[in-house]
Amino acid sequence: MQTNPNVALTAWLRRWFPLLAVAGVVVNGLGLLNEVMEPDGALYASIARRMALHNDCINLIGDGGDWLDKPHFPFWITALSFKCFGINAFAYKLPAFLCWAMGAYYTWLFARTVYGSAVAQLAVLLYMYALHLLLSNFDVRAEPYLTGLIIGAVYHFYRLSQKTSWKHLLAGALYCACAVMTKGIFVGITVGSGLVVQWVVLRDWRQFIRWVWWVGVLLVLLFITPELYALYEQFDRHPEKLVFGHKGVSGIRFFFWDSQFGRFFNTGPIRGSGDPFFYLHTLLWAFLPWAFLLYTSLYWSIQRAVRARQALPEYLSLGCGLTTLVMFSLSKFQLPHYLNIVFPFYAIITAYYLSNTSAFTLKRLALVQDVVGVLVLVAVLAIALVYRPPLLWLCLLLIVLLACAGLLLFTGKGFGQVVGRSCWVMAILAVFLNLFFFPSVLHYQSGMAAGRWLKERDYRLPLVMTGCHSYSLEFYAPAEAGLCSPAQLGVLAGEKGRVLVFTPLDSVGVLRKQWSVEVVQTFPHFPVSRLDMGFVYAATRSSRLRMQVLAIVTRLGAVP
């Protein structure tokens, strides 16, 4: 039976959910207005750009050669978007944003089916305003695709576990296959683990022998055949290609084994060094402002599940969320954004807990949430004052006005009002990052600046990079930009007479020993995905920059 505070929370959600949901879509959509960030986003964008320009849906070309790291699905979707909307940052990010929105929809649909409308609405708000999902809609990688596809597959398979339905079987298998073609077969563990945990705990052994699950596996294998065909055509059919420093590399083997098990056991060509507690402390900031609520709800849910003697709805969400957390924690290859794919389940678990806890506990949690909100707002103001983006006065004025509006809209001590204030603070953070901070930071992404500069001018010369590798130049330049060693540059300059080179300023002196070099433009550079205080602090920023140049290199003796 629900207590009065939960009834009050339900009433609050009925009133405020539409406004906050629309605001959540808007602030997440602000990432569409920004450019593509290096390294991963710009690399993926440049791969999809080549695919679109060459009408080549088979070969993934990146890092100067055949690229065997991620499967094809996001690149296919992005290339299609480029065909429809042109080659630009908006077209690159739009498909991922739509998958994120699909994740919000399926979070609501799954939570409403299992827990009811109030939990579903609260879960969607927790999902929309989680920090790392906000960031992922700006710095787009594979995770927004996975987030929507995985929760979609889980929802349809959950419905299939209740009643045989070809609609849910086909939809679940298709979503699962697309997720596998985005990241690899380990995605299947996240999709299936919740159901398996639920069946084992409830001793529902008949589920393991139902024909629909075996047909589902076959359908997933059928739906991933485009990926297998592309890998075979690019790699297995050409054993002479040099990949990861070796010849005879099988793309299909990499897809099924090295990409997943190789990373998990740290035996594949791409390795890392794992910390079993990495994701426990990563969640403290990645799931802000709800991190403390999440840890409390996980403790409550696990304790309740252990003590229960009957079916509980949270078995499925716990199974998906905790199995994936443990799997990633045991892996030696760890990155913060990996856990985004289970944020829908964490949002649902947290929302269900908040809808069933006592008034006394909600009061204590409300205090924690308000403290977190104040800290986030103070951090936004501090970063703005230290970084000093263009139009600083407008930035500060907007932050203050939005903060005052939030206090007026969500005044009071009810937990619903606390949720509203937390959402509003994250919206302020998203506005600051996407309208002021990130646009200014990306000014120091020299490859992007050089590519956009070239688009405004008519340099009909071969464009190469030497002494550096800029994925953003590959994406933004009007012509293809290849990698070139000094020896290859000599051959190219000898053949073409003149070459346009993107290189560090420090390398110009070396080039001038062998060729005639004319610097045509200089660009400040900083690795913007690895910010440090020296760069963020406006007074010391210039000392952290290095210069990149576009220069025309002419063979000595050649006629300009």
Residue 218 is predicted with a pLDDT of 97
pLDDT of residue 412: 86
Same domain, 306 and 188: yes
Q: Are residues 171 and 304 in the same domain?
A: yes
* CA atoms lying within 13 Å on the CB side of residue 479: 15
pLDDT, one tens digit per residue, over 225-238 is 999 999 999 999 99
- What's the rounded Cα separation, in Å, for the pair 310 and 332? 37
417 within some domain: yes
| 3-state class (DSSP) for residue 550 | strand
Let me know whether 296 and 373 are in one domain: no
Helix (H) or strand (E) holding 541: none
- The number of domains in the chain is 3
The pLDDT confidence band at residue 4, using thresholds 50, 70 and 90, is very low
Residue 16 domain-assigned (yes or no): no
Provide the token pair at 430: 């998203």
pLDDT for position 5: 47
**In this predicted model, which residue has the larger pLDDT, 379 or 267?**
379
Give the model's pLDDT for residue 352.
93
Look at residue 189 and give its three-state secondary structure: helix
Query: Above 50 in pLDDT, residue 11?
Result: yes
Looking at 423, 442, 461, the residue that finishes a domain is 442
Q: Look over the chain and give the mean of its residue pLDDT values, rounded to a whole number.
A: 90
Shared domain check, 196 and 158: yes
Do 368 and 474 share a domain, yes or no? no
Phi-psi region of 441 (alpha: psi -120 to 50; beta: other; left: phi over 0): alpha
Assess whether 438 and 462 both reside in one domain: no
Phi and psi, residue 547, nearest 5°: -105, 140
Q: Are residues 251 and 397 in the same domain?
A: no
Distance in angstroms (rounded) separating the CA atoms of residues 276 and 343: 19
Residue-level pLDDT at 257: 83
Residues 258, 183 within the same domain: yes
With respect to residue 5, please indicate whether it lies within any of the assigned structural domains. Answer: no
- Tokens 């009810």: give the residue: 414
Q: What is the pLDDT of residue 461?
A: 86
Question: What is residue 2's predicted lDDT score, i.e. its pLDDT?
Answer: 36
The contacts of residue 221 (CB under 8 Å, 6+ apart) are: none
Residue-wise pLDDT for 443-496, tens only, equals 999 999 999 999 998 888 889 999 899 999 999 999 888 888 777 776 776 566
Tell me the β-bridge partners of 242: 247
102: Cβ contacts below 8 Å, ≥ 6 apart: 148, 149, 152
* Cα-based distances in Å from 250 to 182, 185, 188, 271: 18, 16, 22, 18
Tell which of 424, 442, 460 closes a domain.
442
Q: Is the pLDDT of residue 122 over 70?
A: yes
Among residues 335, 354, 373, which one ends one of the domains?
Answer: 354
Provide the domain limits for residue 307: 93-354
N residues, the chain = 560
Band the pLDDT of 266: cuts 50, 70, 90: low
Q: How far apart are CA 74 and CA 248, in angstroms?
A: 26
Same domain, 393 and 483: no
67, part of any domain = no
| Spatial CA neighbour of 186 closest among 322, 319, 327, 330 | 327
- Contact between 493 and 1 under an 8 Å Cβ cutoff? The reply is no
Does the pLDDT value for residue 308 go beyond 90?
Answer: no
> Which token pair is 393?
């006065």
Please compute the mean of the pLDDT values over residues 178-194 and round it to a whole number: 93
Average pLDDT over every residue of 150-166: 95
Q: What percent of the chain has pLDDT over 70?
A: 93
- Cα distances (angstroms) measured from residue 363 to each of 10, 370, 410, 431: 16, 11, 16, 29
**Measured distance CA(448)–CA(264) in Å, rounded:** 34
Least confident of 127-141, 434-448, 546-560: 546-560
Instruction: Look at residue 69 and tell me if it is in a domain.
Output: no
Let me know: does 377 contact 428? Beta carbons within 8 Å: yes
- Which pairing describes strands 463-465 and 481-483: parallel, antiparallel, or unpaired? parallel
User: Average pLDDT of 551-556?
Assistant: 80
Same domain, 364 and 506: no
pLDDT in tens, 206-258: 999 999 999 999 999 999 999 999 999 999 999 888 888 788 889 999 999 88
pLDDT band at 511 (very low <50, low <70, confident <90, very high): confident
This prediction has a pTM of 0.93
Are residue 232 and residue 253 in the same domain, yes or no? yes
Residue 67 phi, psi (nearest 5): -115, 115
Helices (H), 436-479: 438-441, 446-455, 471-476
Identify whether residues 410 and 457 lie together within a single domain: no
Query: φ, ψ for residue 168 (rounded to 5)?
Result: -70, -30
Residue 498 lies in a domain: yes
